[in-house]
């Protein structure tokens, strides 16, 4: 059975189940919530405009307390064997399984994504914990042959230290976990600055982590939370004591973070904007293509960095696919995301609605042809003012607005002639996160995946642009920032690499055959 109407809004019970109904502070180091007289950050649900909760923002004094405690925590935590750290993360995964439903419901209500997507986000947290547990026994270096006799060379990885994590509203918990779970098994400690648009979900996660860490006598300062406005992110970015900042958000935000971190020669892992396209070949399975395109465009109300913004459709099937798309959009249910019958919930807030309307106006002024009409939904269940209709426009590829990321359910459809033309257009935008091609033509799929094909960090065949498995490294190129997090060997960014040479001979030969006799 799905969620019933009677319990759709029972957030008091959800907060009580998660144990956070009495937490009012936005600064925490482990189990300790710090007193703060910072400004109130009020979380308003876009679902019904009700208050989810309110938190006192972390102050600069709180920040410095947390940094001091994080340094102390790191001094101890880095000495724990990696498999022991992995065991703690394993227990965290189990605790998240226990709280999956209430935490998924909180994420859905606070951010506005569908309940199934909220549950999916918590599942990503569970999955990354599982991945990190295995990783804790696989933090491998390499052994190299030395050019000098009687010498051995190898490289090893050491914990980096303090890791600052700045996360965005659209994935209020999962992206933090992608970073934190890996950083913890690497021996690092984390300071998390969540989006001020979804702080209560972050408070819930910090509370769950703190319980697990407390049960295992993890030192204070290994998991830290600082809820605040932009200034808190600026403190993190400019702090010489934090060697790595992992930031997710807009390209504008990422450039500011990158500049601040670069100025102090720190490391920045940036996951920024996406303007993702699906190429739909005349040799595609159109049913598969339609499913991937529609979910990619309307999932999370178009507020994913991997959302599908552009469909580049072969001219022979363009009109046919356009009709299929129009029919599919007529079947989309929009409403309360906690009602599992709905496919799409609200945008995050009314500012996002204004940006959506502004984008539609610009598209029309540029000559975009309306295929599926957008607009704001009002009254009744839409009284929050955050619900909009997904829109589709037929456009030319060279329109300026097509080159920009619009964080809303607006989809552009573009007709192409040759596969080479389609790939060229797909790559023309400044962003380079996710991409896909729908085709059963082997030549087309291999070309798309070759060095002559997609220039994105993610390139898929016969699945859409949206959604990623934690086993693969996630990230993109160009204005997407170039960062990689989550799976594969992304763990290396959270550690410092060291090359070691051991001389076990009785001589001291120098490299490159240099002679230096005394």
Active site residues: 271, 305
Written as one string, the DSSP assignment of 41-80 is EEEE-TTTS-EEEEEEPPPHHHHHHHHHHHHHHHHHHTTS
Rounded-to-integer distance, Cα 275 and Cα 455, Å:
12
Rounded-to-integer distance, Cα 274 and Cα 468, Å:
14
Rounded-to-integer distance, Cα 27 and Cα 59, Å:
8
> Residue 466: which residues within 8 A CB-CB, separation 6 or more?
276, 295, 296, 299, 304, 306, 307, 308, 434
Q: What angle do CA 509, 512, 514 make, to 5 degrees?
A: 60
Sign of the C-alpha dihedral computed for residues 239, 242, 248 and 251 taken in this order: positive
The encoded tokens of residue 508 equal: 């001291």
Question: Do residues 192 and 165 make contact, with C-beta atoms less than 8 angstroms apart?
Answer: yes
Enclosing H/E stretch for 265: none
The b-or-e profile of 312-338 (16+ CB within 10 A means b, else e) is bbbeebbeebbebbeebbeebebbbbb
3-state DSSP call for residue 6? helix
Rg (CA), the chain: 24
> Residue 154: which residues within 8 A CB-CB, separation 6 or more?
141, 142, 143, 144, 499, 500
Q: What is the largest CA-CA distance in the chain?
A: 90
The encoded tokens of residue 202 equal: 């972050």
The encoded tokens of residue 208 equal: 């769950």
Alpha-carbon distance values, 63 to 42, 43, 290, 332, 470 (Å): 20, 21, 48, 45, 31
Question: Do residues 473 and 488 make contact, with C-beta atoms less than 8 angstroms apart?
Answer: yes
State the residue for tokens 């050491």: 158
Alpha-carbon distance values, 469 to 27, 127, 184, 487 (Å): 31, 9, 20, 8
Rounded-to-integer distance, Cα 502 and Cα 109, Å:
57
Question: Do residues 45 and 112 make contact, with C-beta atoms less than 8 angstroms apart?
Answer: yes
State the residue for tokens 């702080």: 199
3-state DSSP call for residue 98? helix
Q: How many other CB atoms are there within 10 angstroms of residue 471's CB atom? A: 12
Rounded-to-integer distance, Cα 101 and Cα 103, Å:
6
């Amino acid at each position: 059975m799905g969620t019933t109407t009677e319990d759709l809004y029972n957030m008091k019970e959800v907060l009580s189940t998660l144990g956070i109904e009495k937490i009012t502070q936005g600064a925490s180091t482990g189990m300790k919530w710090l007193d703060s007289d910072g400004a109130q950050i009020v979380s308003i649900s876009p679902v019904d405009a009700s208050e989810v909760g309110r938190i006192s923002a972390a102050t600069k004094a709180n920040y410095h307390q947390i940094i001091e405690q994080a340094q102390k925590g790191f001094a101890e935590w880095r000495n724990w064997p990696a498999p022991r750290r992995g065991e703690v993360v394993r227990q965290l995964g189990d605790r998240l399984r226990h709280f999956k439903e209430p935490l998924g419901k909180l994420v859905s209500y606070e951010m506005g994504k569908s309940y199934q997507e909220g549950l999916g986000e918590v599942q990503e947290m569970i999955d990354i914990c599982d991945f990190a547990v295995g990783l804790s026994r696989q933090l491998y270096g390499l052994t190299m042959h030395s050019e000098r006799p009687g010498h051995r060379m190898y490289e090893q990885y050491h914990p980096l230290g303090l890791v600052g994590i700045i996360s965005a509203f659209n994935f209020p918990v999962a992206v933090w976990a992608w970073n934190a779970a890996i950083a913890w098994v690497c021996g690092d400690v984390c300071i998390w600055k969540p989006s001020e648009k979804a702080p209560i979900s972050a408070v819930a996660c910090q509370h769950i982590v703190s319980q697990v860490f407390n049960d295992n006598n993890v030192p204070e300062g290994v998991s830290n939370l600082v809820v605040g406005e932009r200034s808190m992110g600026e403190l993190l970015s400019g702090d010489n004591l934090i060697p790595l900042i992992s930031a997710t958000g807009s390209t504008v935000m990422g450039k500011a973070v990158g500049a601040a971190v670069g100025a102090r020669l720190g490391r920045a892992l940036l996951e920024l904007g996406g303007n993702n396209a699906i190429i739909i070949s005349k040799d595609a399975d159109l049913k598969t293509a339609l499913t991937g395109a529609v979910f990619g465009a309307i999932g999370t109300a178009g507020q994913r960095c991997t959302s599908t913004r552009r469909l580049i459709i072969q001219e022979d099937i363009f009109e046919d696919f356009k009709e299929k798309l129009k029919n599919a959009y007529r079947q989309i249910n929009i409403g309360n995301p906690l009602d599992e019958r709905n496919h799409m919930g609200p945008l995050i807030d009314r500012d996002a609605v204004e940006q959506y309307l502004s984008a539609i106006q610009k598209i029309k002024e540029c000559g975009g042809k309306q295929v599926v009409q957008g607009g704001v939904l009002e009254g009744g269940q839409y009284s929050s003012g955050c619900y909009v209709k997904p829109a589709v426009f037929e456009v030319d590829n060279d329109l300026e607005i097509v080159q920009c990321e619009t964080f809303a359910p607006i989809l552009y459809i573009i007709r192409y002639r040759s596969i080479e033309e389609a790939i060229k257009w797909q790559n023309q935008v400044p962003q380079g996160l996710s991409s896909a091609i729908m085709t059963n033509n082997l030549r087309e799929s291999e070309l798309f995946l070759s060095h002559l094909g997609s220039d994105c960090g993610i390139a898929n065949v016969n699945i859409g642009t949206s959604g990623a498995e934690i086993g693969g490294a996630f990230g993109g190129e160009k204005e997407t920032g170039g960062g990689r997090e989550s799976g594969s060997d992304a763990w290396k960014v959270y550690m410092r690499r060291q090359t070691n040479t051991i001389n076990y001979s009785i001589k001291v030969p120098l490299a490159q055959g240099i002679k230096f006799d005394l």
